[in-house]
Amino acid sequence: MKVLLVGGGGREAAIAASLKKSAHVDTLYCAPGNAGIASCAECVPIGVMEFDRLIAFAKEKAIDLAVCSQDDPLCAGIVDAFEGAGIPMFGTRKNAAIIEGSKAFSKDLMKKYGIPTAAYEIFTDAEKAEDYLKTMASFPIVLKASGLALGKGVLICRNLEEALAGVQEIMLDRKFGAAGTQLVIEEFMTGREVSALAFCDGKTYKLMSSSQDHKRIGDGDTGLNTGGMGTFSPSPFYTKEIDQICRETIYQKTLDAMAAEGRPFTGVLYFGLMLTKDGPKVVEYNTRFGDPETQVVLPRMKTDLVEVMQACMNGTLDQIQLEFEDNAAVCVVLASGGYPEHYEKGKVITGLEHFEGRDDIFCFHAGTKFDENGNIVTNGGRVLDIVAKAKDLKSARAKAYEAAACVHFDGAYMRHDIGRALDEI
């Protein structure tokens, strides 16, 4: 098969590696890709929102399967556009991608179908939101821009003053653009967070191995929210008992709810869960593979990725036996100094040869490119995802940090406590 992957981050680097391993893939293209993805796919300089150019390219190359797992193009209808042009694409159609694209939609869905989540109110009027906040008996409270905001549109406000400033930022200053047209004000929950990713064919889901992200920039979960600074998989906190509860109260109910709404969900559904003392609750849904969760989940998947994707698209997922290796993986993100705020690009990266020919450590490129001299240089906030596999989480963590120490660029930043929670068990 000829396969076209749309995207160019660390998640796509992990997807590309799994696609390349598939028995069904002869040729792999990636648009736009990056300097690391170029080692396993032919990169094509077309942006993820350029649907017409992507479709023209796919037709010219007679692509058999296209794959997209990025929120912006999915919510804008890339799957519908490809299907309309007669090219099968793995991903979620626009009318179902709204589960991530509108938090107002997903909160109302959960309320209507009795899926456990934080209590909330939705506002389109800043003054009404402010009046409501003034009636709050306790803080913290959580403010969320309803639309897509690169994972950054969530504010946890410790008091009324911060909450009112948050309404100003999201609804009036439009810090997250049109995403702030609607505001969700939500009860603050406490508990451990787990990411559960599931392949879906509209009616059946198959759960992948669990994982945990580290969203804050600083050690000890301090500082600003980021796209994700590191992950581990599986999560030892996602026990068999919790799995059973989630299967009964969350996963199938969500798929059935989407189908009942006339929005059957196909693709990867990401359940961001909080394990509260009242049981697991949904923090958020995403309509795609998580980033950087994918980097620790897919390298452990034994089942052929193309076969699973095709089953999702054909409605035959119930016939797939999804299997994972009985081991563990840890990912440490190397970011540009200053991320998630201001940072410089174009720093030369060295030490990448360390990963060549290894099947236990991987360096998935997230934000890199080739400069005019052929050097691999930094080209984003999150630059490299260093992943190690080992028999258990603690050995994987040690190996990931050892591997991360082999790579260098000016101003490289990483958290030093990815997987610290593992010391509690």
Report the residue from 12, 186, 201, 291 that binds ligand GLY according to the rule CB under 6 A: 291
Nearest Cα to 186, choosing from 58, 274, 73, 249? 274
In total, the chain counts a number of residues equal to: 425
Which is nearer to ligand AMP, 58 or 194 (by Cβ)? 194
Using rule CB under 6 A, residue 290 touches ligand GLY: yes
201 binds, among ligand GLY, ligand AMP, none (CB under 5 to 8 A by kind): none
Contact string (CB under 6 A) for ligand AMP, positions 243-272, x = contact: -----------------------------x
Which is nearer to ligand AMP, 167 or 283 (by Cβ)? 283
Binding residues among 191-230 for ligand GLY as defined by CB under 6 A? 213, 228
188 binds, among ligand AMP, ligand GLY, none (CB under 5 to 8 A by kind): ligand AMP
E strands present in 92-227 = 120-123, 141-145, 154-157, 183-187, 192-201, 205-207, 212-213, 216-218, 222-225
Report the residue from 80, 186, 201, 293 that binds ligand GLY according to the rule CB under 6 A: 293
Structure tokens of 409?
A: 């660029």
Q: Is the peptide bond before 140 cis (omega within 30 degrees of 0)?
A: yes
Binding residues among 136-165 for ligand GLY as defined by CB under 6 A? 151
Residues 6+ apart with CB under 8 A from 201: 266, 311, 312, 313, 314, 315, 316, 317, 318
Residue 361 C-beta: closest distance to ligand AMP, Å: 27
Residue 293 C-beta: closest distance to ligand AMP, Å: 12
Region near ligand AMP per CB under 6 A, out of 181-189, 259-267, 311-319, 362-370: 181-189
Residues 6+ apart with CB under 8 A from 266: 91, 92, 93, 96, 200, 201, 202, 312, 313
What distance lies between CA 276 and its chain's CA centroid?
22
Using rule CB under 6 A, residue 189 touches ligand AMP: yes
Residue given tokens 């009318």 in the structure block:
95
Report the residue from 22, 204, 266, 286 that binds ligand GLY according to the rule CB under 6 A: 286
Q: Which residue is nearest to ligand GLY (CB)?
A: 290
Which is nearer to ligand AMP, 283 or 332 (by Cβ)? 283
Residue 183 C-beta: closest distance to ligand GLY, Å: 20
Region near ligand AMP per CB under 6 A, out of 73-81, 184-192, 251-259, 374-382: 184-192
Using rule CB under 6 A, residue 385 touches ligand GLY: no
Q: Which helix (H) or strand (E) holds 1?
A: none
Distance separating alpha carbons of residues 336 and 334, to the nearest angstrom? 7
CB of 157 closer than 8 Å to CB of 163: yes
Distance separating alpha carbons of residues 100 and 308, to the nearest angstrom? 22
Which is nearer to ligand AMP, 186 or 291 (by Cβ)? 186
Number of residues that bind ligand AMP (CB under 6 A): 16
65 binds, among ligand GLY, ligand AMP, none (CB under 5 to 8 A by kind): none
Report the side by side order of strands in the sheet with 120-123. Answer: 120-123, 183-187, 141-145, 154-157
Using rule CB under 6 A, residue 160 touches ligand AMP: no
Using rule CB under 6 A, residue 154 touches ligand AMP: yes
Nearest Cα to 117, choosing from 137, 98, 142, 94? 142
Which residue ranges make up the site for ligand GLY (CB under 6 A)?
Answer: 151, 213, 228, 286, 290-291, 293
